[in-house]
Each structure stands twice: as C-alpha cells, then as structure tokens.
DNA sequence: GCTAGCTTGGTAAGCGTTTTCCCCCTAACC
DNA sequence: GGTTAGGGGGAAAACGCTTACCAAGCTAGC
C-alpha cells in the first residue's frame, strides 16, 4: 500500500519494488531472473512470488544500457513518393516485397530475442541522414533496403553500428545481400527468346540507381544481344517498381504511338501488375499479343490473370539472411581484435529461379495455387 | 588519439568524449544538443564542432532511461500458422492488410519522432504473453492487431503501458480502433441483393474469434434475413483471411458436391483472391456464374481479373488513428491525476464505403487504375 | 561602490538495470 | 578444532544520458 504511494500514479514496478517485497537485494532479483549464479531455492521462490505478485517486467532501456545490447535492429525502407500533397496519396501502392523481406527478418530475429525497429524514409526527403543516424543509435545494427544514403554517409554510419544492405553494393565496412539477378534474368531471357521465339523485347526498369534493376537490365541486354534480338529500354520504360508506375508508362507509350514489343520484361512483379492492367484496358491480349513477365514472384503473382511468369527468389530468405549476417556482425563486435574474419565487406548472393506461368505464353498449369514447387520451371 | 585508445576497439563516442574535445562539461553538450537554456554562441560552436568531428549521436537507451520516454511503440501482428514444419511454409501468403496499417502508423509516428517496434506472434504459440510483455517494456505503448491475449492478460499488460487494439473490443483500460463494419457490409449486402437481385449468398468468414469477421457476418445475415435471402455460412465456409484458406475452402466445398451460391461474400480481399483463383480453376465464371466480393479494398483488388468489388476503408488511416490515439494516451500519462478524460475505453469507428467493380456483376469501369475516387460507389 | 538579479557553466544526482567485488556463513579437510 | 574452499547474498559501481542545483561572473540599479 505504501509502495503504491511511493511511485507517483502507477508507474510499472521496478526491481527495487520486487526486492523490497521479497525481502532481498536487487542483485538477487536480477540473478533469479537471469538465471545467474544459481540462487538458493528459497530465495528464488520468494523472488518469483514477488515478481508474479507485482507483475514485474524489467525495463528495456535500462537493460540495454547496462548490457550494452538493445536487442533491436533498425530497418530502413524507402517509401514511394507521395503523388500529391495529400497524406496517403501513396495508399494505392503497398510494399509487398519489402514487407515480406521484413517478415523474414523478423521471424529469425525473434529466435535471437531481437525486434525490428522500422522506419520508412520519404524518397524525396532532402536529407534523411539525421533520422537514420538517430535510428542507428536506437539499435544494435541496421539493415538498409535501398540506397538512401551517400557512400560517405554510409561510411560514417558504419562507424556507429554494423550495417547490412539489401540489393546494394558491399563496402569495406558493410555487407550486402542480394539475389542472383544475372542467373535469374538469363534464364528468363533465354526462355522468352529460345523457347517462345520472341524477337522484340522491352525492359521496364525499376527506380533510378537501383543496382537490382540495373543488373537485371544488363543481363537481359546481354542475352538479347547474343541472340540478335531487339531490346527497347530507357527513361520512357521506367516503372519505378510500382504498379501505378508500370501502368503509367504503358499508357504514355501507347498514347505516343509507340508499338508494343512482343514481350515486356518488368523489373519486378508489382510493376508487371500495372502493365497487365494497362494492357487489358486497351484490349491488348496477354500473352497472345504481348507477353509480360515479372521478377520476385510475390505471392499475388499466381493469382493474377493471366498468372504471372516471374523469377522466384526466397523473399523471406533474403530477409532471414540479412538478419543472420547482421547478427554475426553484432555478436562478433564485442570480441573485437580477436576474430577478424567478420561478415564486413561480404556480398552474399541467393539463388533465383525461373517460374513459368501463363503470362509468358506457357500453357496454364494445373497446379493448386497454394503449392509453389509443382509449378516451378526446370 | 588517446581517446581512441580509451574506448576499447572503436565504440561510438559518448557525450564525455565530446565534452573533452570541446573543453566543456557534459551538461553544456547536452544543452547545446537539446536546445535548452540557450548557451553562449562560442560554447555552442565549440560543441557543434566537436560533435561533427567525432560523429557523435546520443545513445537511444541512455536517453530513454533518463527521459523516461523511449519514443518507440510496439506493434504486435498475428502471423498465420505455418502449414508444415518448414521455415517459410507461410511464404505463400503475405500480410498486405496489416502491413499497410503499419505503414500508416509509421508515417504518423515519424512526425512525433517515434519508431515502430514490430513483432509477429505465431498463432499457435501456446503462450505468447512473455514475449509481448517484454516488447511492452521496450516501448512506450502497444498496438495490438489481433486478439492474441486473454482479457486477463490484456488487463495486466495495460498496467505496464497504454494499449490500443485494432479491430478488437475496448476495455476500461484500453482503446480500440476499427472500421464501420456494419455500415460497409450493409451497403454491400443491399447492393448484391437489391441491385443485382441475387437470392443465394454465402459468407466466407475470417479466422475464429475475429470481431471484424463476426460483425461483418452478422450485418450480412441481418440484411439477408430482412430480404428473405438464403445465406450459407459455417465452419466449412472459413477462409481465415488468407488466399490459400479461401482457395482451400472452395476446393473442398466443390469436392463435397456443395452447390455454389449466386454470390460469395468474403470477409476480406485476400481470401477473395483465393476464391477467385479456385473458381477459375474449375471453369466457374465470375461474376457470370458466381459473384465474389471482398472487404478492405487492398491495392491489388483492382488489379485482379475480374476487378474485385470490395468495401473500402482507409487502411493507412486506421493505422494513423491507432497511433494518434495511443500517442495521446502516452503523453497524457505523465500528467496523471490532472486530466482524467483520456482515450482509455474509447471505441473509435472509421467510415467504410462500398466500391463497386466487376466481380459483383457491375460493368467494367473505365477508370484509370491508379485513381480511386472515380470508381467509388455512390 | 555595493548588492540584487540574470546569465552561463559545472557538479552531481538521478533513470533501472547488470555485474563486480566483497563479506559471511557453512562444510569439508587435515 | 582450526583452516580453507566455496556458495550465496548484499553494497556499490557502471552504463550514457538529462536536468536540478549551485557557483561564479556580469549587468544594472540605487
């Protein structure tokens, strides 16, 4: 009763409250809770009773300060521009791919007792670095989804906490995780060119400066050139990874009277969705008149009509790998000087695999939609 | 140089390092950085120089401990069951709706300098409470997406931090935010029954115990009964809010020879996607043979074929409202005893609006996909 | 010219944990 | 019976900040 009055209104109980209630010192409470030094059975019991009684849970900030470990990793996602001034003009779009990656990270993080501290940055924020630096100091490490910082900022940031980038480029101080864009795109390109015999292609790229988009484009261009096939690309073929962007690009091309190629290879599934939609509006049949392909194989890809041919990567695996890589850097850091072969500077590639569905011109698969393996290409 | 050796390998600089470099006390550094008490220009300059030199950013945990504010809110999402033992068996599905809500929360949170600490709980975890309690103490408040805790656990939790539930039920200590399920579903039901004249309906519900699913079902049942229309529902009509679940339900009903109703009303868009897919596999035309509708109007709804008729709610608005509500509870708490009219116990409903597209039997809209307003029902 | 009042900077006391010492007590060994 | 391990518990330091409190220097007012 008196302890109710000690703490102003009703702040959560502290370890002192528990110690007082159990008639022991705070050290004993901590030892019981953290399983250190094996306290006497009676002590343990008294403490646990007091803990249950008061509903005590240790404060995260204090714990982090003392243990020098927050058990939190920061995640930075790039948020597509807001189309106009209104608050949720971007509600049209969601970030299926990044969100699934985050889910993958989170599941693995939980096993290590870590949580994800998520922050999206406006693509057109003039200087997002302040907020990202603050985020870094709320966490034990950072995972960056897109290139939002300059190389120099990244270097400074990596002096504060370990950093892993996704689909970026590794530096001497940061690690990078990405999928095998080249292999995936080459398989897709060969399928379109050799299996289907398409002779005119276009590449709908992602947003400017995206290493993924550029690598995919380069691999496609290499295959096209090797086969002597025409490839259209450029600024007017930019989908920006978004459905709305893909739809807009096609609308404008058609408006300008640009003839459609036999196949449109999109930098990701979401922009392919927009392309499908725009083509449908103009009565252009897919894959009859124009074939369309995506990249990533997000879950909805198989629910579209026609079902989208894509390049599958383990999206959650990407997130899981990113977290594990970061985790090894975090736990290595304290032992600094000892093992020097850290993950820093590593560039980790995950496999990518062609998934043939209808939108490339292949016949409809009879597979049950919830199964992935059975519809996977050889 | 000596300071390099002071701190073991290269820990980030502390406020002491800055103070030493600038030749002032730590109090002055803190005052300059936090804009308190307006220090002398020369002092400010020296400090800022040292800060820039060393790349100092204050530690979040220490700051949180001292300020009694972490500037973090925890978010708990329920993760669908893993279909089998493998790690990513649930990769088939993503959580478009919760993820968009989170995005809405995050955008608003950023304005207040808050970040989101995200944790998903396995639906079949026997006791997720330990982890959730720990999350609570890493945050200033909690937003819970689904009912994952018992009422009693929720009550204990709300003694630690303010709590807002989404699509739950408010209690004396927690607030709740949800959309106007009744109005939305009634509008949809009337459209199907009166505008289209359908006489046999089915309700594909979400997961067990979901208040949203039950309210939507109840509203539909009320309209159906009022119009003397047949409504099929029950355990065999459970989609569990997931595409795979919706597809599975339809497959099994067909396998058991259950005749399809004229219209299937799904508890959300994702399960409707699965239904569309399953019907397509069996050559059942939508909306010709069977009409299908969703709920939520997630972005992909308009990219499906046929475009999905749904009930629109401002998904990001839901998240934004949840955060604002929680924020008011957080900032009210310190002034305890003073203003007693907090948000606790409030039940906030956001509007829901019918969006007619093709899957209910309406003619194809000519609207550009990236525009929402123009295809919205009256 | 002396003191009241204001500005400015430093010292130190928190914030709530974990963990390092250190002390005490018991048991075991010679 | 005296000495020594060794286990268990408590006091206190440390973690890196913010801020209350205090001291000093200045200006201004009489």
Segment A241-269, tens digit of pLDDT: 988 899 999 999 999 999 999 999 999 99
Beta strands in B145-299 (DSSP E): 163-166, 175-179, 200-204, 230-232, 263-266, 291-293
Q: What is the pLDDT of residue B176?
A: 95
Find, in chain B, the residue whose alpha carbon is nearest to that of A276. B303
In angstroms, the Cα distances linking A43 to A37, A39, A57, A219 are 12, 7, 18, 66
Option in B60, B133, B247 nearest A370 (CB): B247
CB B251 within 8 A of CB B271: no
Q: Which helix (H) or strand (E) holds B179?
A: strand B175-179
Taking contacts as CB-CB distances below 8 angstroms, the residues of chain B near A369 are 243-244, 247, 274, 277-278, 281
Search chain A and give the residue with CA nearest B272.
A303
Instruction: Answer yes or no: is A15 CB < 7 A from strand C.
Output: yes
Residue A178 has φ and ψ, to the nearest 5°, of: -155, 170
pLDDT tens-digit series, residues A165-188: 999 988 988 999 999 999 999 999
Nearest CA in chain B to A60: B138
Specify the pLDDT at position A314: 93
Q: Is residue B70's beta carbon less than 7 angstroms from any atom in nucleic acid strand D? A: no
Looking at the predicted structure, is the pLDDT value of residue B371 above 80? no
d(CA A278, CA B293): 23
Q: Please, which pLDDT band fits residue B146 given cuts at 50, 70 and 90?
A: confident
* CA atoms A246, B98, A75, B104: torsion sign: positive
Q: What percent of chain A has pLDDT over 90?
A: 72
Query: Residue B25: is its pLDDT beyond 80?
Result: yes
For the entire predicted model, the pTM comes to 0.90
Determine, for residues B273 and A300 on separate chains, whether the beta-carbon distance falls below 8 Å. yes
CA distance B221 to chain A (A): 29
| Nearest residue, CB atoms, A370 vs list B104, B139, B244 | B244
Q: How far apart are CA B259 and CA B215, in angstroms?
A: 26
Q: How far is the CA of A208 from the C1' of D17 (A)?
A: 41
pLDDT of residue B226: 97
Q: What are phi and psi of B146, to 5 degrees?
A: -135, 165
| Separation CA A308–CA B156 (nearest Å) | 48
Task: Give me chain B's average pLDDT, please.
Answer: 87
Cβ of residue B63 lies below 7 Å from strand D: yes
Q: Which nucleotide in the DNA or RNA is closest to residue B137, CA to C1'?
A: C16
User: Of all nucleotides in the shown strands, which has a C1' nearest the CA of A12?
Assistant: C16
- Report how far residue A341's alpha carbon sits from residue A140's, in angstroms, rounded to the nearest whole number: 19
Q: What is the mean pLDDT of residues B95-124?
A: 92
Backbone phi and psi for residue B322, each to the nearest 5 degrees, phi listed first: -60, -45
Q: If you search the block for the tokens 């290269």, which residue do you land on? A: B10
CA B373 to chain centre: 23
Angle at B246 between CA B245 and CA B252, to 5 degrees: 85
Strand D: positions under 7 A of a protein C-beta atom: 7-12, 14-20
B70: nearest CA partner in chain A: A61
Residue A294 pLDDT greater than 60, yes or no = yes
Residue-wise pLDDT for B63-93, tens only, equals 999 999 999 999 999 887 644 444 444 556 7
Cα B243 to chain centroid, rounded? 18
Contacts of A10 in chain B (CB under 8 A): 159
Confidence of residue A309 (pLDDT cuts 50, 70, 90): very high
- In the 179-218 segment of chain B, residues within 7 Å (Cβ) of strand C are none
* Residue B193 DSSP symbol: I
- Yes or no, beta carbons of B160 and A12 under 8 Å apart: yes
**DSSP classification of residue B194:** I
Q: How confident is the model at residue B341 (pLDDT cuts 50, 70, 90)?
A: low
A303 vs B277: CB contact, 8 Å cut-off? yes
Rounded CA–C1' distance between B342 and C13, in angstroms: 33
Q: What pLDDT, in 10s, does the model give residues A145-167?
A: 988 888 999 999 999 999 999 99
Q: Which of A103, A117, A243 sits opposite B303 (nearest CB)?
A: A243
């Amino acid at each position: 009763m008196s302890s109710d009055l000690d703490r102003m209104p009703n702040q959560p109980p502290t370890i002192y409250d528990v110690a007082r209630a159990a008639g022991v010192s705070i050290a004993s409470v901590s030892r019981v809770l953290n399983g250190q030094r094996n306290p006497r059975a009676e002590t343990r019991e008294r403490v646990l009773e007091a803990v249950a009684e008061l509903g005590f849970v240790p404060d995260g900030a204090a714990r982090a300060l003392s243990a020098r470990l927050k058990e939190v990793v920061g995640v930075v996602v790039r948020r597509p521009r807001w189309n106009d001034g209104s608050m949720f003009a971007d509600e049209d779009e969601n970030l299926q791919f990044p969100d699934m990656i985050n889910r993958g990270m989170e599941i693995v993080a939980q096993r290590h007792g870590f949580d994800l501290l998520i922050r999206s940055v406006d693509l057109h924020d003039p200087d997002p670095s302040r907020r990202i630096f603050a985020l870094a100091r709320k966490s034990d490490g950072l995972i960056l989804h897109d290139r939002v910082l300059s190389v120099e900022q990244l270097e400074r940031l990596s002096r504060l906490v370990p950093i892993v980038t996704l689909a970026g480029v590794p530096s001497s101080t940061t690690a990078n995780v990405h999928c095998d864009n080249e292999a995936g795109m080459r398989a897709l390109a060969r399928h379109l060119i050799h299996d289907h015999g398409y002779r005119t292609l276009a590449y709908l790229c992602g947003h400017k400066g995206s290493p993924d988009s550029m690598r995919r484009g380069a691999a496609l261009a290499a295959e096209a050139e090797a086969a002597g096939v025409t490839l259209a690309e450029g600024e007017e073929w930019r989908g920006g990874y978004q459905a709305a962007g893909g739809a807009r690009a096609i609308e404008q091309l058609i408006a300008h009277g640009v003839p459609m190629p036999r196949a449109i290879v999109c930098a990701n599934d979401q922009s392919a969705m927009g392309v499908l939609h725009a083509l449908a509006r103009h009565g252009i049949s897919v894959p009859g008149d124009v074939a369309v392909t995506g990249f990533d194989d997000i879950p909805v890809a198989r629910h579209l009509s026609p079902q989208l041919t894509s390049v599958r990567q383990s999206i959650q695996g990407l997130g899981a790998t990113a977290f594990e890589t970061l985790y090894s850097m975090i736990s290595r850091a304290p032992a600094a000087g000892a093992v020097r072969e850290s993950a820093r500077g590593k560039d980790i590639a995950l496999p990518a695999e062609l998934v043939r569905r209808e939108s490339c011109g292949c016949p409809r698969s009879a597979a049950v939609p919830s199964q992935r393996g059975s519809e996977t290409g050889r």
